[in-house]
């Protein structure tokens, strides 16, 4: 959801800014731009489209600047166009601003500034920031920024430079992510860690309400009152290779194949973490899971495990629906906030609002040091490494692993299982890692299947119980990256509506492992077949019943009934991937989407 970068040092700024932007491109890619201080002048270059358009535009210009800021945009206010692309400047071109988030009161501020004689060029909310800074500037950029932030409402992060003070970049965080990277004789600013990984692993995560002043040899952090704040340096555990494609055609494919490792590392991480919770677990009589997108689907599966092993009721609610509903929450409620990035605005704000009402919050996040990580009372980490592909894959199965382990932990803490029971459950999950590895051998089969089915315009995905959320996830993957309409549905609900859609042009992917609902799903398969639907079944290898039904049978390794989501999601991820790839689509950066959605 827009990416911001900044560089100040002794190297040429432009190549560093462009490379950092490319690593942030998964956050948005409608347009991109940079601002640098070249000699005594502010130079702004921007282009509609992906970063490569900007790179082309800058080809041969040989800027020598050592300081600059950059931006890749996911449009909120104003269509993708050159004029709406960032950086934005004030009228005299003295202050350049890149911004992520939304200034909610921008119309009011714009009117006020227009009355004072300011002329605006773009339709964006960002431009008011540049004009406000110019309005307040009285020979001290920091003071002008302090005055400006007090006027802005909403959740945002921005960076500003000016040729009037060539020795600094100022970065501000309130609601949207912003990380400082510490180098030797150089410092960096970015919305997310992968942007700066080639240069440094030493970082400072800014908290909401903080301002960083980056100079070549120093970084100082202040609060919005201008009072210095001392910050800890966090050394990022990821290396640069983990954020590279490593020979795979796309990040998404690489990440699909990294799932056995992601699950194994997550189990290892969980077992080595101090799991002393800062609240009394026996007090909890209700769990509410809040999440968005793929994380929400993981939460739906976690509910079945938690209720099965602990008996504690667990609702799962889209974070965007939770926040403005009157859902009863009190100090006996536990909120499980699941977010790969830890920055999704809907999830964070829902968690914070529940916390205000007295609930305890456990975050399940992949990005250590992210906002949710810091805002939650306790965090459980998925150790999936950086996920760059916009469509979540390895973080999904890693989230499943954490949710399964969490259910076992709760059962153990409540005396429902003994120590051995807990470790037996862990061992079973460990074995699943190998089954997932085996399921990945289906890659070639799914590639062939994709070429056969890519021409269809609609897909239905059906599953029951633990595999209903997998049907939702399979459909989401296809929609996200292939732009093919797909619906996930509980197989038993099909007869109440979606069955009317079925004809010979409707591929129906049906998840049918041999579990407690197997007989029921076989009946649902018959319902689809008798209406000429094109049935693709996913079931355990060697299932002769399924082999004789439908057009295609995909055999996944047999696992215990708790674990079918882990192996069933693999062919669905691969199917979506290969269809999108064969259709020539941009798998890692699908249109209109962003990896981290920091607006509500
Ligand atoms: C975006 C991404 C999805 C992701 C969702 C939630 O929509 O494109 O892949 O599942 O956000 O993200 P989170 O970081 O909170 O898990």
The enclosing H or E element of 425 equals helix 419-439
Which residue stretches of the chain have pLDDT < 70? 1, 240-241
Residue 518 CA to ligand 1 centre (angstroms): 31
pLDDT at 231: 95
Q: Is the CB of 295 under 6 A from ligand 1?
A: yes
> CA-CA distance, 19 to 5, in Å (whole number)?
10
Q: Is the CB of 595 under 6 A from ligand 1?
A: yes
pLDDT at 82: 84
295 contact partners, CB below 8 Å, separation of at least 6: 338, 339, 340, 344, 347, 364, 392, 395, 396, 399
* Residue of 2, 174, 477, 549 marked catalytic: 2
Of 324, 323, 331, the residue nearest 349 (C-alpha): 323
451: tokens are 């070429």
What is the DSSP secondary structure assignment for residue 247, as one 8-state letter? Answer: T
> CA-CA distance, 382 to 392, in Å (whole number)?
13
Residue 114 CA to ligand 1 centre (angstroms): 38
72: tokens are 């890749």
pLDDT at 476: 97
What phi, psi does 291 have (nearest 5°)? -170, 175
Q: Is the CB of 8 under 6 A from ligand 1?
A: no
Residue 394 CA to ligand 1 centre (angstroms): 12
Of 508, 507, 410, 521, the residue nearest 465 (C-alpha): 521
Count of alpha carbons within 13 Å of 98, Cβ hemisphere only? 36
Q: Is the CB of 599 under 6 A from ligand 1?
A: no
Q: Is the CB of 347 under 6 A from ligand 1?
A: yes
Residue nearest to ligand 1 atom 4, measured at CA: 293
pLDDT at 52: 87
pLDDT at 81: 83
Residue nearest to ligand 1 atom 7, measured at CA: 293
Residue 295 CA to ligand 1 centre (angstroms): 7
Pocket test for ligand 1, best of 191, 289, 293, 587 (most atoms within 8 A of CB): 293
Cis omega before residue 87 (within 30°)? Answer: yes
Count of alpha carbons within 13 Å of 3, Cβ hemisphere only? 30
Q: Is 2 annotated as catalytic?
A: yes
* Residue of 50, 303, 549, 595 marked catalytic: 595
Residue 27 CA to ligand 1 centre (angstroms): 11
pLDDT at 363: 98
Give the Cβ contact number of residue 485 at 10 Å: 13
pLDDT at 153: 95
Q: Is the CB of 397 under 6 A from ligand 1?
A: no
371: tokens are 């906002």
Q: Is the CB of 341 under 6 A from ligand 1?
A: yes
| pTM (two decimals) | 0.80
| 3-state class (DSSP) for residue 215 | coil
Helices (H) then strands (E): counts for the chain? 18, 25
């Amino acid at each position: 959801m827009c990416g911001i970068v900044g560089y100040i040092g002794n190297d040429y700024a432009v190549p560093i800014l462009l490379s950092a932007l490319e690593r942030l491109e998964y956050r948005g890619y409608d347009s991109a731009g940079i601002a640098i201080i070249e000699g005594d002048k502010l130079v702004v270059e921007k282009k509609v489209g992906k970063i490569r358009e900007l790179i082309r535009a800058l080809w041969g210009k040989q800027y020598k600047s050592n300081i600059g800021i950059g931006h890749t945009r996911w449009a909120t206010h104003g269509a993708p166009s050159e004029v709406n692309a960032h950086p934005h400047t004030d009228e005299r071109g003295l202050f350049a601003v890149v911004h992520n988030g939304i200034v909610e009161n921008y119309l009011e501020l714009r009117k006020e500034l227009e009355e004072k004689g300011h002329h605006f060029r773009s339709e964006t909310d960002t431009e008011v920031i540049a004009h406000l800074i110019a309005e307040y500037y009285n020979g001290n950029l920091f003071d002008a920024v302090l005055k400006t932030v007090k006027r802005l409402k909403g959740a945002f992060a921005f960076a500003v430079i000016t040729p009037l003070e060539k020795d600094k970049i100022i970065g501000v965080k309130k609601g949207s992510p912003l990380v400082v990277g510490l180098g030797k004789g150089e410092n960096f600013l970015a919305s997310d860690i992968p942007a700066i990984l080639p240069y440094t692993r030493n970082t400072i995560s800014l908290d909401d309400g903080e301002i960083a002043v980056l100079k070549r040899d120093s970084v100082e952090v202040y609060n919005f009152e201008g009072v210095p704040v001392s910050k800890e340096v966090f050394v990022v555990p990821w290396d640069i290779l983990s954020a590279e494609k490593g020979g795979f055609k796309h990040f998404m494919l690489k990440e699909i194949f990294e799932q056995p490792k992601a699950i194994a590392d997550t189990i290892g991480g969980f077992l080595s973490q101090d799991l002393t919770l800062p609240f009394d677990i026996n007090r909890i009589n209700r769990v509410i899971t809040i999440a968005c997108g793929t994380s929400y689907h993981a939460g739906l599966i976690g509910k079945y495990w938690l209720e099965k092993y602990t008996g504690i009721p667990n609702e799962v609610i889209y974070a965007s629906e939770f926040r403005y509903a009157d859902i009863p929450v009190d100090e006996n409620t536990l909120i499980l906030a699941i977010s790969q990035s830890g920055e999704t605005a809907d999830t964070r704000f829902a968690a914070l609002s529940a916390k205000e009402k007295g609930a305890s919050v456990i975050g399940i996040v992949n990005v250590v040091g992210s906002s949710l990580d810091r805002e939650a009372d306790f965090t459980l980490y998925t150790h999936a490494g950086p996920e760059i592909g916009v469509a979540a894959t390895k973080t999904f199965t890693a989230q499943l692993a954490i949710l399964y382990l969490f259910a076992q932990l709760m059962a153990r803490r409540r005396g429902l299982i003994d120590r051995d029971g807990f470790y037996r459950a862990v061992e079973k999950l460990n074995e699943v890692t190998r089954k997932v590895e085996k399921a990945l051998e289906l890659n070639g089969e799914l590639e062939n299947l994709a070429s056969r089915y890519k021409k269809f315009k609609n897909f239905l995905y059906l599953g029951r119980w633990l595999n209903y959320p997998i049907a939702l996830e399979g459909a989401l993957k296809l929609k996200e990256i292939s732009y093919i309409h797909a619906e996930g549905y509980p197989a038993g609900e099909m007869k109440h509506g979606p069955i009317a859609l079925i004809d010979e042009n409707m591929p129906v992917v049906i998840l049918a492992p041999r579990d407690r609902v197997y007989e029921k799903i076989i009946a649902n398969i018959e319902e689809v077949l008798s209406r000429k639907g094109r049935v693709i079944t996913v079931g355990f290898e060697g299932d002769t019943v399924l082999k004789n039904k439908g057009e295609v049978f995909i055999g996944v390794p047999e696992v215990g009934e708790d674990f079918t989501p882990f192996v069933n999601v693999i062919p669905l991820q691969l199917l979506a991937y290969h269809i999108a790839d064969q259709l020539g689509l941009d798998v890692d950066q699908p249109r209109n989407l962003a990896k981290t959605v920091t607006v509500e």
